[in-house]
Amino acid sequence: MRRRTLTGVVFLTGLLALFGSAVIAAERPNILFIFTDDHAAQAVGCYGSKINQTPHLDRIAREGMLFRNCFVTNALCGPSRACILTGKYSHLNGFFMNGDRFDGSQQTFPKLLQNAGYQTAIVGKWHLETDPTGFDHWEVLVGQGTYYNPVLIQNGVRKKFTGYVTDIITDRAIDWLDRRDASKPFLLMYQHKAPHREWEPGPQNLNLFQDRTIPEPATLFDDYTGRTSAAHLQDMTIAKTMTPKDLKLVPPPNLTPEQLETWNAAYTSENDAFHAAKLEGDDLVRWKYQRYLKDYLRCIASVDDNVGRMLDYLDRTGLAKNTIIVYSSDNGFFLGEHGWFDKRFMYEESLRVPLMVRWPGVVQPGSVNGDLVSNLDFAETFLDAAGVAVPDDMQGRSLVPSLKGETPDDWRKAFYYHYYEFLADQPTPHMVRRHCGVRTATHKLIHFYQLGEWELFDLEKDPQELRSVYDDPAYADIRQELTDQLTRLRTDLQVPDDTAIGGHPDPLRAERRETPSKK
């Protein structure tokens, strides 16, 4: 009798264990989307950075998958965010350039997850002009936000905080995680201001890199020979465009007396030495580069520290076991390459963003993916991972198969890009002309259609994109192939005529546009 009872207990225990495992396996994953503003891939340790270290970000890649070729559809803050929310290009989601207003009534992946039973929240930078929709909780910066003592809008109510913005955003994100409904899976969009201009470091990192010289990029003194007039017409050079505020020759205006004292202790002696030196020419550019890069990297150090705090929280609470972590940024950034800062261009430093994904039990730790992927694919990936149907009108594709090491055979071989923020009849930030283009694994075709100019780059022979081969007869076949791909992609993606897109007319296009056949 006792033997039969023990046997029954063992059998029941086995059933419970099996049933419990099935429940765990069927449990929908939490999603933590960690997002930064203007974080260049070349300033992430796991992407081979030669200028800084990012141990906590590297941990995500080490325990998950790193994507080598993740590109944005429109390298600008607001349009990138709108693309991620909707899974659609600017011409369909209606957000073309900073200053536009996001239509919050349209379909977004947070709304779809919310309808499927997820608890949804966004904490940090929003930058889409209208109030967030599709979130059970939202706590966002006003506009660009400030690095010190920011104001956050908490579900419609403004509240000012004292401290450093990267720390505060992390505090608020963890606070929401502590208070959430633990019976539901969650989506948390944890979005930092850093490392956006004017690159104001946190107090704990003000002296980081003080005794180091940051290596200069080989193209710091690029003269743009070999490219069209677009590269010459921009206004984003370290040499001419940076302001005294960018260079910390004046402090931020919103510091407390204690913060100002700490700030002055870090910068005053260096600023005095700069004024005494009276630098000119290349020496002045080199000084500006060092000041810019050190402050930019100091901001990233705070992001890395806080990502470490978040990872520790997930480990400590047991949430790490069933939470997908995605790290990315809204666009790439020029870190002195071609003498520039900022983004916008379709050139590699601006086009490419970091993307690392950790998904315990699904993603092989330490894996690397080389496919052409995009922020256009994020919404579809989040939905697919949560078991929610992906709407047919979204324009990207789920990365879940790739995360499992099973990239579909019909995955994209060419990627379409389109930048809109240039208005011919009014001042435009950084003066980068509108352009569209196509990138493959080996080549890139760019059409600056307001100027009637084209560029073609051989990315294998010329990875720094210094010499356009558009008019080189040796590349005639490749030029035609990419031109055909560009036409096909514009048709497939339903890209309309750009002369009056989104309420932003372009009077130059009708006068100056040239077709490939005329060039």
Over residues 31-76, the pLDDT tens digits come to: 999 999 999 999 999 999 999 999 999 999 999 999 999 999 999 9
pTM over 0.85: yes
pLDDT at 359 over 50: yes
pLDDT at 519: 29
Q: What is the mean pLDDT of the chain?
A: 92
Collapsing DSSP to helix, strand or coil, 453 comes out as strand
Rounded CA-CA distance 106/291 in Å is 42
pLDDT at 2 over 50: no
Query: CA quadruple 465, 470, 476, 481: dihedral positive or negative?
Result: positive
**In the chain, pLDDT over 70 holds for what percent of residues?**
91
CB 329 within 8 A of CB 39: yes
Per-residue pLDDT, averaged over 246-264, amounts to 96
Collapsing DSSP to helix, strand or coil, 135 comes out as coil
Specify the range with the lowest mean pLDDT, choosing from 9-23, 96-110, 419-433, 440-454.
9-23
pLDDT at 497: 77
Q: What's the pLDDT tens digit per position in 462-514?
A: 999 999 999 999 999 999 999 999 999 999 999 987 655 555 655 444 333 33
Cα–Cα separations (whole angstroms), residue 433 to 290, 466, 497, 509: 28, 18, 16, 11
Instruction: Return the structure tokens found at 483.
Output: 């031109």
CB 300 within 8 A of CB 52: yes
pLDDT at 490: 95
Rounded CA-CA distance 330/129 in Å is 16
pLDDT at 325 over 50: yes
Confidence band for 10, pLDDT divided at 50, 70 and 90:
very low
Q: What is the DSSP letter of 123?
A: E
CB 237 within 8 A of CB 221: no
pLDDT at 281 over 70: yes
CB 91 within 8 A of CB 495: yes
Burial of 2 (0-12, 13-18, 19+ CB in 10 A): exposed
CATH tag, 416-518: 3.30.1120.10
Q: What's the pLDDT tens digit per position in 417-466?
A: 999 999 877 778 999 999 999 999 999 999 999 899 999 999 999 999 99
Q: What is the DSSP letter of 47?
A: G
Q: What is the DSSP letter of 15?
A: H
Q: Give which of 491, 495, 469 is closest to 228, Cα–Cα.
A: 469
SS (H, E, C) 280-349: CHHHHHHHHHHHHHHHHHHHHHHHHHHHHHHHHHHHHHCHHHHEEEEEEECCCCCCCHHHECCCCCCCHH
Q: Which amino acid is at 231?
A: A
Cis preceding linkage at 455, omega within 30: no
Strand extents, DSSP E, 76-136: 119-124
Q: What's the pLDDT tens digit per position in 373-416?
A: 999 999 999 999 999 999 999 999 999 999 999 999 999 999 99
| Residue 267 parent element (H or E) | helix 257-277
Rounded CA-CA distance 343/71 in Å is 13
Where in the chain are all domains bearing CATH 3.40.720.10? Answer: 27-201+295-406
Per-residue pLDDT, averaged over 273-297, amounts to 97
CB 195 within 8 A of CB 37: yes
Selecting from 2.30.29.30, 3.40.50.300, 3.40.720.10, 3.30.2130.10, what CATH number does the domain 27-201+295-406 have? Answer: 3.40.720.10
pLDDT at 6: 41
Collapsing DSSP to helix, strand or coil, 359 comes out as coil
Q: Give which of 294, 414, 391, 399 is closest to 355, Cα–Cα.
A: 399
Rounded CA-CA distance 168/156 in Å is 18
Rounded CA-CA distance 444/463 in Å is 10
Instruction: Collect all residues with Cβ–Cβ distance below 8 Å to 86 and sequence separation of at least 6.
Output: 92, 93, 106, 107, 108, 109, 379, 394
Q: What's the pLDDT tens digit per position in 181-239?
A: 999 999 999 999 999 999 999 999 999 999 999 999 999 999 999 999 999 999 999 99
Rounded CA-CA distance 129/87 in Å is 19
Where in the chain are all domains bearing CATH 3.30.1120.10? Answer: 416-518
pLDDT at 21 over 60: no
Strand extents, DSSP E, 40-180: 65-67, 70-71, 119-124, 137-141, 151-154, 157-160
DSSP 20-44: HHHHHHHSPPEEEEEEESS--GGGS
CB 366 within 8 A of CB 58: no
**Which range scores top for mean pLDDT: 4-13, 363-372, 420-429?**
363-372
Starting at the edge strand that comes first in sequence, how are the strands of the sheet with 435-439 ordered? 415-419, 435-439, 443-448, 453-458
pLDDT at 424: 77
Rounded CA-CA distance 141/151 in Å is 6
pLDDT at 499: 56
